[in-house]
């Protein structure tokens, strides 16, 4: 095998110069350099157009029979799934709104019930306090009346003894000033004369 560097160093000898025949191998830069780029040559246009039409037709058939129905099926499934999901979301939203309204109604009813219970408890406690206050006031009024009656009785009893105490005091004063002992009957007679 000859490397490309060795091939460039070796001089090219044409087979005609050596007097030999051409063996069929073309030397680089041989007969193909005379024409242009094959796809752009006019004699190749017709077969290229036929192959173009044939390949386009086959691709069109493959796309229209296999690929596009699958894509259409995927899009239809997607639309159906999205529609079903949207319907489920709307239904869930309506259920959530109904549940929220029910919750609000229940909350309002429970709040009204709690306020009613609070008002009833407040009224009951006020009535009990009123009854206890009335009973306490009656008890204190009875005790006050009993105390006033006792005081009035002791006052009346004390006033009955005032005359005797006054007579004893008057006897002691007379005895102290005059040195004479006065008897109780004389003092009682003198006190009676003064009050009449």
**Three state DSSP letters for 44-85:** HHHHHHHHHHHHHHHHHHHHHHHHHHHHHHHHHHHHHHHHHH
Q: How confident is the model at residue 6 (pLDDT cuts 50, 70, 90)?
A: low
Whether 1 has a pLDDT exceeding 50, the answer reads no
Per the model's pLDDT, the better-predicted residue between 26 and 172 turns out to be: 172
CA 89-94-98 angle, to 5 degrees, is 145
**Tell me, what's the pLDDT at 41?**
83
Task: Give yes or no for residue 17 having a pLDDT over 50.
Answer: no
Give me the mean pLDDT over the 166-174 stretch: 81
Half-sphere exposure of 104 (CA within 13 A, CB side): 6
Whole-angstrom Cα distance, residue 105 to residue 102?
5
Q: What is the pTM of this model?
A: 0.38
Q: Which residue shows structure tokens 């005895």?
A: 175
CA distance 182 to 171: 6
20 has pLDDT over 60 = no
pLDDT recorded at residue 96: 96
Give the residue with greater pLDDT, 162 vs 18. Answer: 162
Task: Write down the pLDDT at residue 42.
Answer: 82
Nearest 5°: the CA angle 66, 71, 72 is 100
Mean pLDDT of the chain: 83
- pLDDT tens per residue across span 73-129: 999 999 999 999 999 999 999 999 999 999 999 999 999 999 999 999 999 999 999
Tokens representing 66? 């296999």
Residues 6+ apart with CB under 8 A from 80: none
Phi-psi label, residue 24: left if phi above 0, alpha if psi -120 to 50, beta otherwise: left
């Amino acid at each position: 095998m000859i490397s490309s560097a060795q091939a460039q160093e070796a001089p090219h000898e044409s087979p005609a110069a050596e007097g030999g025949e051409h063996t069929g191998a073309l030397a680089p830069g041989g007969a193909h350099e005379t024409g242009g780029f094959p796809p752009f040559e006019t004699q190749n246009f017709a077969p290229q157009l036929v192959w173009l039409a044939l390949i386009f037709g086959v691709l069109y058939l493959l796309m229209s029979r296999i690929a596009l129905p699958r894509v259409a099926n995927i899009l239809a499934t997607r639309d159906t799934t999205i529609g079903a999901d949207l319907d489920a979301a709307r239904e869930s939203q309506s259920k959530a709104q109904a549940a929220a309204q029910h919750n609000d109604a229940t909350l309002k009813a429970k709040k009204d019930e709690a306020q009613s219970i609070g008002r009833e408890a407040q009224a009951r406690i006020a009535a009990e306090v009123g009854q206890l206050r009335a009973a306490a006031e009656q008890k204190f009024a009875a005790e006050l009346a009993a105390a006033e009656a006792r005081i009035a009785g002791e006052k009346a009893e004390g006033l009955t003894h005032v005359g005797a105490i006054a007579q004893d005091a008057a006897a002691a004063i007379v005895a102290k000033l005059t040195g004479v002992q006065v008897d109780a009957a004389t003092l009682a007679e003198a006190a009676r004369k003064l009050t009449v």
